[in-house]
Structure 1
Amino acid sequence: MFARLTAILALVSGPALAQQTDITIGMQLEPPNLDPTGGAAAAIDEVVYANVFEGLTRFGPDGSVQPALAESWDVSEDGTVWTFSLRDGVTFHDGTTMDADDVVFTLDRARSEDSTNAQKALFSGIDSVEAVDPTTVRITLSAPNGNLGFNLAWGDAVIVAPESAETNATAPVGTGPFTVTNWVQGDRVELAAYPDYWGATPALERATFKFISDPNAAFAAMMAGDIDAFPNFPAPETLSSFEADPRFSVIVGSTEGETILAINNAELTDPKVRQAISHAIDRQAIIDGAMFGYGTPIGSHFAPHNPDYVDLTGKSAYDPERARALLEEAGATDLTLRLMLPPPAYARRGGEIVASQLREVGIETEISNLEWAQWLEQVFRGKDYDLTIVSHTEPADINIYARPDYYFQYDDAEFQALMTQIGATADPVMRSELLKDAQRMIADDYVNAYLFQLAKTGVADARIEGLWENAPTQANDLTGVSWTQ
């Protein structure tokens, strides 16, 4: 009788369902290359950060700085010498050993005079990098910098090997849990689990990043099940449809993305004109019209969720009459500006609204819709623009305003000195006050028109666990992602 009952139960329950081990992730933008140490596009890190490449440290999903290739580190009493203990037994995807010599090569390359690293300033305070032994690295700084662990967690600071560094753009070789097995340009990047990974084996064995630029196509692909998750979903107006469908989960969080109407300060040198532009902008109308209500207004280049944030939105509050008066005072009553827009929906949709708002105060715009590679070449590198809209998704990156060669070309010696002081300040209370001063300074100078903090609006199959809710850096970290049965 017992044997018969067991057989019946086996028939009813059937065989155990196999755990799904592959995933297809949707992205709106395709990366121009796959080397985070040689490109500025956020889409690069969205594919490779923590998946393919790793640094000495890394950002966790809560924004904390965590050990990665360095299992621990010590800092000298004067704050100028950092000693990192590397994990033993780490290999690159080509089978070669990752050791202290690779760290020296990587950091020396990043800070060299001919470096193409988009965030070279992260390494500017490093005096020397030494391999003490194969698993120990000593970094000596020119001045104390309590932020070094944070700086080394950026995607721009991942460790690469001299044998493969020059070809990482198209054939990346990292130390992460996944290797790049295929890149069909214009369509997808495919990853596979690296069998000799030093850390915990991920639940996923394969992952595909699928590039879908059109928001309507993204919606259709999710609904059809062609995409399993779209962590930065480009059509927020359709989120209610997913919320009403039990097949999906909608994941709304925050990002490090300060979305700005960037101003070429070398072209628009009169602060009254920049102030007029800022007062012409109705942030909430842009958030409602371009982002369907998702986003938090900002008045400086700082994230509202940061404990050092200062609300400066009142300084550049929507005031079209004040904007017109400032233009009159500046003698700029017949102004036509070039507005260059990259592909993301926040830029294209937001750009149309911004153009309408500027027209109301007497500023005409000539809109150019650029593809991402064009925007990087013409605006970011060429600085050939008047206005542009972009989200700066790098974490805590107010230091870019201390770089006169950066694409909005703000050159202020007082601000540069302030950022140097911040870098040398270890006391958290003093550092907080200085960061607040920095926010006020760029707001007072109306360097850019600050729009909103980009929300992270994602959609995923409801059976998927482990996707990041917030985005402390620009990443789709798959190391903790799995399917439930």
Structure 2
Amino acid sequence: MRRAAAVAVTGTLVVALAGCSAAGGAGTAASSSTLTIAQEADMAPSGFDPLAYSAGQRQMMSAAYNSLLSLQPDGTVGAGLASEWEFNEDGTVLTLTLADGVTFSDGSKLSAALVLANLERRSDPALVAYSGFAPGGDAEMLSVEAPDASTVVITFAAPQFAVVQSLANVAGMIVGQTAIDDATLLKKAPIGSGPYVLDTAKTVKASTYTFVRNDASTEAADYPFDTVVFRPINDPQARANALISGQVDAGVMKSSTVELLESKKMGVSQIGGTTVSLIQFDKTGTSVPEMADERVRQAIQLSIDRDRLVELLHVGDTPQRNALPSASAGWSEEVDAAWQRDVPKAKALLAEAGYPNGFSFEMLSSPDSQADLELIQKDLAEAGIVMNVRPAASTQEAFDAVKTTAMGYIPLDWSNTVGLMYGVLFGFANTQGGDDEQLRAATGALAGAQTDDGRDEALQALNARLVESGWLYPLYEPLLNIGYNPTKLNPVTFAGTDSIPLLSSFTPVETAK
């Protein structure tokens, strides 16, 4: 669903690195070394329960947790904690056969009963990764059964062939038995079966997260570094400087820093397929009453000058009026034409909705989004909409913005469209309970599609409605830049079209073949 390119230049990681069982770099010898990855934000603001997050936290959580299935280096779904899986004919029943010999960091063992206990948490509203699986959810699990110690049978309310992609992400991560007995333990440290465990003595919340090799893991030898350190660095220029100075070895870099990184002989791997958007949190008018009216959200959509945004701040990127990236089968010329900037029409929609004098709302910013939001602020002002931009006081405040503010700023990777819809659009970013029958229908059709024509039709409907409804305000489509130090790391590769490199994709130069 998108182009991919590997080019030499810099490093940190975007919102997530991953490494699940069966996805490691087999044959690489373990070495006594440390990999330090810079991240754009704190990956554990609410603790270490992986189900409390969306795919954006996969990078760090995958160090400590394995998923039921795994994303393979070629982008396909492979074995994970489940060594085999099979759907019934209509895609409503999924049977998983669990792997043998898996031990969690608390000493508990993988079993069908443990997986069942994990999935029984799906009704907990705090576990946003499970939101689609909960009663009434779009990927509702009607039942989960354990007919024997190594078999789990999941029955869905509707066909869910695409759910395997979600089970290879955070939604498929399994926590150990002590975390099931007392979930508060996950506030302090992860309890998983992944290749690493958290070194709490060398971890400082929101500053440095240090993971050391998990000797009990059957896959630990597939990961070449004894220690992996994740460092949240919010400011994009500071991330680039940290890479150049050797403070970090890799990370996600802004396009504006790539030229500097190239001049300093850093390496960069690039991939497309991500869209940067404003995302509507409040669709019900809970925090901003005016936002409950779809015409108001459409007025915002029509007020934004994407072309000017790219021209002034994102040279080389592509202005985007479609929710889905340009290489997706869902991208539409009709949508692009329909949502060109039109301030008079925006004003007319506001008047029609009962707000001829406009309205105001507050938006939290980060170092990554500040300049973009200030420019968009001027666009909205021309239509009479006052967007007050305020820097978030802390990572926790930024994370909580989904509950307290009308919208946020987010890069979205569409390689797992169904998982993104269930986990983010209907999940993490929808705590105020917005609903849209057309979006749910399109997502359900995509989840159950078995033909290319069926998938394409569902993607087209989903893309058009995301923009029309104002659930997303697409801004631009960038190349994602994963920077790395080429004297320490081999070029970082992507798993198919997924923009989040597997943790096993970070390998020291001495292991090159």
- Amino acid in the other structure paired with 1:238: T
Task: Select the residue among 230, 237, 245 that pairs with 1:209.
Answer: 230
In structure 1, how many angstroms separate the alpha carbons of the residues matched to 2:470 and 2:130?
25
Whichever of the two has the greater Rg, that structure is 1
Asked if 1:68 is matched to 2:80, the reply is yes
**Could you say which residue in structure 2 is the equivalent of 1:388?**
408
Moved more, 140-149 or 469-478: 469-478
CA contact (8 A) 1:403 1:409 kept: no
1:33–1:455 distance in 2 versus 1, CA, 3 Å: farther
Structure 1 residues 76-100: Cα deviation after superposition (integer angstroms, max 9, x where no partner)? 2232222112211111123332122
SS of the counterpart of 1:122?
Answer: coil
SS of the counterpart of 2:225?
Answer: coil
Structure 1 residues 386-430: Cα deviation after superposition (integer angstroms, max 9, x where no partner)? 443233457312356567992575433344344444444434422
Compute the displacement of 1:330 (Å).
4.2
CA contact (8 A) 1:259 1:390 kept: yes
Report the number of matched residues: 457
**Could you say which residue in structure 1 is the equivalent of 2:504?**
479
Compute the displacement of 1:472 (Å).
5.7
**Could you say which residue in structure 1 is the equivalent of 2:142?**
127
CA contact (8 A) 1:37 1:118 kept: no
Task: Select the residue among 249, 259, 262 that pairs with 1:243.
Answer: 262
**Could you say which residue in structure 2 is the equivalent of 1:302?**
324
Structure 1 residues 326-347: Cα deviation after superposition (integer angstroms, max 9, x where no partner)? 44444533223223224250x2
**Could you say which residue in structure 2 is the equivalent of 1:159?**
174
Task: Select the residue among 249, 254, 277 that pairs with 2:272.
Answer: 254
CA contact (8 A) 1:178 1:193 kept: yes
SS of the counterpart of 2:338?
Answer: helix
CA contact (8 A) 1:28 1:344 kept: no
- Amino acid in the other structure paired with 2:362: L
Compute the displacement of 1:461 (Å).
0.5
- Amino acid in the other structure paired with 2:308: A
* TM value normalised by structure 1: 0.84
- 1:282-361 correspondence to structure 2 within 5 Å: 282-290=305-313, 292-293=314-315, 295-311=317-333, 312-343=335-366, 345=368, 347-361=369-383
CA contact (8 A) 2:329 2:459 kept: no
CA contact (8 A) 1:339 1:388 kept: no
Task: Select the residue among 477, 480, 490 that pairs with 1:456.
Answer: 480
In structure 1, how many angstroms separate the alpha carbons of the residues matched to 2:468 and 2:57?
33
* TM value normalised by structure 2: 0.80
In structure 2, how many angstroms separate the alpha carbons of the residues matched to 1:466 and 1:99?
37
Compute the displacement of 1:374 (Å).
1.2
In structure 2, how many angstroms separate the alpha carbons of the residues matched to 1:104 and 1:437?
35
CA contact (8 A) 1:228 1:461 kept: yes
In structure 2, how many angstroms separate the alpha carbons of the residues matched to 1:470 and 1:356?
39
In structure 1, how many angstroms separate the alpha carbons of the residues matched to 2:461 and 2:427?
17
Compute the displacement of 1:115 (Å).
4.4
**Could you say which residue in structure 1 is the equivalent of 2:216?**
196
In structure 2, how many angstroms separate the alpha carbons of the residues matched to 1:388 and 1:403?
14
In structure 1, how many angstroms separate the alpha carbons of the residues matched to 2:349 and 2:238?
43
1:440–1:249 distance in 2 versus 1, CA, 3 Å: same
Compute the displacement of 1:294 (Å).
5.4
Structure 1 residues 161-217: Cα deviation after superposition (integer angstroms, max 9, x where no partner)? 221241223211211111111321232011112123223531111111122223333
**Could you say which residue in structure 2 is the equivalent of 1:53?**
65
In structure 2, how many angstroms separate the alpha carbons of the residues matched to 1:416 and 1:45?
25
Structure 1 residues 367-401: Cα deviation after superposition (integer angstroms, max 9, x where no partner)? 22223311332x31x2x334432334573123565
SS of the counterpart of 2:505?
Answer: coil
**Could you say which residue in structure 1 is the equivalent of 2:89?**
77
CA contact (8 A) 2:494 2:502 kept: no
CA contact (8 A) 1:263 1:448 kept: no
CA contact (8 A) 1:280 1:323 kept: yes
- Amino acid in the other structure paired with 2:388: E
- Amino acid in the other structure paired with 1:372: T
CA contact (8 A) 1:264 1:386 kept: yes
Moved more, 208-217 or 189-198: 208-217
- Amino acid in the other structure paired with 1:145: Q
Matched residues, percent identical? 23
Compute the displacement of 1:60 (Å).
3.4
1:201–1:225 distance in 2 versus 1, CA, 3 Å: same
In structure 2, how many angstroms separate the alpha carbons of the residues matched to 1:352 and 1:452?
16
**Could you say which residue in structure 2 is the equivalent of 1:272?**
295
CA contact (8 A) 1:258 1:302 kept: no
Asked if 1:95 is matched to 2:92, the reply is no
CA contact (8 A) 1:181 1:192 kept: yes
Asked if 1:137 is matched to 2:137, the reply is no
In structure 2, how many angstroms separate the alpha carbons of the residues matched to 1:89 and 1:134?
12
Compute the displacement of 1:355 (Å).
0.2
In structure 1, how many angstroms separate the alpha carbons of the residues matched to 2:173 and 2:217?
16
Compute the displacement of 1:61 (Å).
4.7
Structure 1 residues 117-154: Cα deviation after superposition (integer angstroms, max 9, x where no partner)? 11333324212222233322222223322122122122
Task: Select the residue among 427, 452, 459 that pairs with 1:435.
Answer: 459
SS of the counterpart of 1:46?
Answer: helix
CA contact (8 A) 2:118 2:174 kept: yes
Moved over 6 A (4+): none
Structure 1 residues 56-86: Cα deviation after superposition (integer angstroms, max 9, x where no partner)? 1122355432221112212222322221122
Asked if 1:117 is matched to 2:137, the reply is no
Structure 1 residues 298-342: Cα deviation after superposition (integer angstroms, max 9, x where no partner)? 334323343444352222112234333444444533223223224
In structure 1, how many angstroms separate the alpha carbons of the residues matched to 2:318 and 2:503?
27
CA contact (8 A) 2:42 2:232 kept: yes
In structure 2, how many angstroms separate the alpha carbons of the residues matched to 1:480 and 1:209?
15
1:202–1:212 distance in 2 versus 1, CA, 3 Å: same
1:391–1:344 distance in 2 versus 1, CA, 3 Å: farther
Moved more, 296-305 or 66-75: 296-305
SS of the counterpart of 1:482?
Answer: coil
Moved more, 33-42 or 139-148: 33-42
1:207–1:412 distance in 2 versus 1, CA, 3 Å: closer
Structure 1 residues 199-247: Cα deviation after superposition (integer angstroms, max 9, x where no partner)? 35311111111222233332332221111112x12x432211211233x
CA contact (8 A) 1:56 1:159 kept: yes
Unaligned 5+ runs, structure 2: 1-29, 135-139
1:403–1:53 distance in 2 versus 1, CA, 3 Å: closer
CA contact (8 A) 2:211 2:229 kept: yes
